[in-house]
Amino acid sequence: MFRLALPADLPAALRPPVVAALAAWLLFLAVLGLTHIIQVPISDKAQHFVGFGVLAVLLFFAFRPTAPRTFVWRTTGVLTTLACLLSEPLQALLTTRPFDWADIAANVMGAASFLFAAWMADRWIVQRLVARRRRRRASEARYWGVRAVEDAEEGYGDADEDGLFASADELDVELDDILVDTPPLSAARASAC
C-alpha cells in the first residue's frame, strides 16, 4: 500500500504565490471544461495536453526548492494522476460532453511532458542554486565560528549563553585549515582560459 507521509512543516514548504496561481489555473480549467462560457478555438486534445501540463508544473513548483524532493515528486505524481484520470468522468457526469479516452491520454501525456521539463529545470537550475546558497551559508557559518574563536582568544568573553565557544581549544579549529589563500574567482577564470 502506498503511504504518503506529510512533512510536519508542510505550510512552510509551500510558495504562496505559486499556490495562488495554481488555484487560479484550476478555476480556469474548471470553467473551461465544465461550462460553455469560454470557447477556445483550438483542438480539444491540445487544450487537455497544455492544461494538465501547466497544472502539473504549477503543482510541482508550489513546493519550495528546499522541500524533500521525494515528497514533492510523490505528491505531484499522485495528485496529477488523480486529476488526469478523474477529470473526464467528472466532465461526463456534470456536463453534456461525452467521455473520451483520448482526452485522458492527452492529459497524461501533457502532464508527463511538462513534468519532465520541470524535472530538468529543477535539476539543472533550481537545485544548483539551492546548493550554491547552502555552500554560501556554510561558508558564512564557518567564518562566524572563526570570529567567535578570535573573540574568545582576545578575551571578549569566555562563552556565549549556551557555552558554545569557550575557547579555541574547545572548537579544535586551526585557522590555517580554514583560511586558505585562494585567488579571486575572476583571476581563476582568466588563468583557465
- The model's pLDDT over 55-87, given as tens digits with 9 standing for 90+, comes to 999 999 898 887 888 888 899 999 999 999 998
Q: What is the DSSP letter of 63?
A: B
Distance CA 8, CA 103 (A): 37
Picking from 116, 103, 11, 104, the residue whose alpha carbon sits closest to that of residue 60 is 116
Share of the chain above pLDDT 70, in %: 64
Neighbours of 125 (CB within 10 A): 11
Write down the pTM of the prediction: 0.60
Range name among 61-70, 83-92, 115-124, 183-192 with the lowest pLDDT average: 183-192
Predicted local distance difference test score (pLDDT) of residue 171? 45
60, 122 Cβ separation under 8 angstroms: yes
Please give the backbone phi and psi of residue 105, each rounded to the nearest 5 degrees, phi first: -65, -40
What pLDDT does 163 receive?
Answer: 46
Q: Rounded to an integer, what distance in angstroms lies between the CA atom of residue 159 and that of residue 100?
A: 71
The residue extents of the domains of the chain are 11-133
